[in-house]
Amino acid sequence: MPINVNTVYQRVLGILNKEQRGYVTAQEFNLFANQAQQDLFEQYFYDINQFGRLHGNDTEYSDMLTILDQKISPFKTSALLTYNQTSLHFDLPTDLYRLGSIVYTNTITDGFTATTELVEAERINQNELLYINLSPLTRPVNRRPIYAQDTQGVKVYGDAELTSSVSCNYIKKPATVQWAYQIVFDEPLYDAPNSVDFELEPSEETELVIKILELSGLLIKDFNMYNAVNQEEVETIQQEKS
């Protein structure tokens, strides 16, 4: 269930107005909201690296690696890749955040029947391709493909360079948050149909508000508010990681 962008927006404005700290426009809120969401999202992967070095626990609902995986799971997806005849690469998805595995659908013909199997390609560096092809033992085949990635996309090799039947598993970026509005009597009025909610778990709502307030404090040059919400954020992180 996503976090309603209007709920976060009203909470941020409510705190700013209550403390008479200043005002944040809708455009500024949208910028801060996306920055806050991206910061939290990226932190998941640093936390996985940290908690992966620690011993887990068997207590249901409290193992941090399991919790982090649940937070990332909605962003795990897959896509069939399209071969670009201009760049001679497979184009990667435009919403790609982190690439997982490259998978080739290999077709095996045995007499009159044909079956398919999914084969994961092994990643190599582009400069390794020449040496890999020198030996029959390491040369790629359709049942043991390899791939190399660069700025243009990926190239996949089996019996020859592959140009179809290639897909990937990946983690997508969170959608761009948008608090949309219509001007009514010179005031912005929430436009729900054209708004885009946060894609993070509902448990992150408070942290989103804190981060947006932190950024707002810098904008309106209220360093007392910035320091206050920054300290609260630090205490929250310490509590989660203790």
Question: How many residues does the structure list for the chain?
Answer: 242
What is the average per-residue pLDDT within 213-228? 64
Least confident of 8-22, 66-80, 221-235: 221-235
Q: Which residue has the higher pLDDT, 50 or 181?
A: 181
Express each pLDDT in 47-64 by its tens digit: 888 877 665 555 555 678
Which of the four pLDDT bands, split at 50, 70 and 90, describes residue 224?
A: low
pLDDT the model gives residue 65: 87
pLDDT the model gives residue 239: 46
Answer whether residue 215 shows pLDDT above 90: no
Long-range contacts at 138-145 (CB < 8 A, ≥ 24 apart): 142/104, 142/106, 143/106, 143/117, 143/119, 144/119, 145/102, 145/104, 145/106, 145/119, 145/121
Per the CB < 8 A criterion, the answer to whether 177 and 196 are in contact is yes
Distances (CA, A) of 201 to 13, 76, 222: 22, 14, 29
Per the CB < 8 A criterion, the answer to whether 227 and 218 are in contact is no
Domain boundaries, the chain: 5-73+174-241, 98-171
What is the overall mean pLDDT for the chain?
A: 86
Express each pLDDT in 112-133 by its tens digit: 788 999 999 999 998 898 889 8
List of residues 6+ apart from 153 with CB closer than 8 A: 81, 84, 87, 89, 90, 91, 92
What is the average per-residue pLDDT within 162-188? 95
Which of the four pLDDT bands, split at 50, 70 and 90, describes residue 217?
A: confident
Per the CB < 8 A criterion, the answer to whether 219 and 235 are in contact is no
Distances (CA, A) of 89 to 74, 97, 100, 206: 28, 19, 17, 43
Distance, in Å, from the CA atom of 108 to the CA atom of 14, rounded to the nearest integer, reads: 63
Strands (E), 2-73: none
pLDDT the model gives residue 157: 96
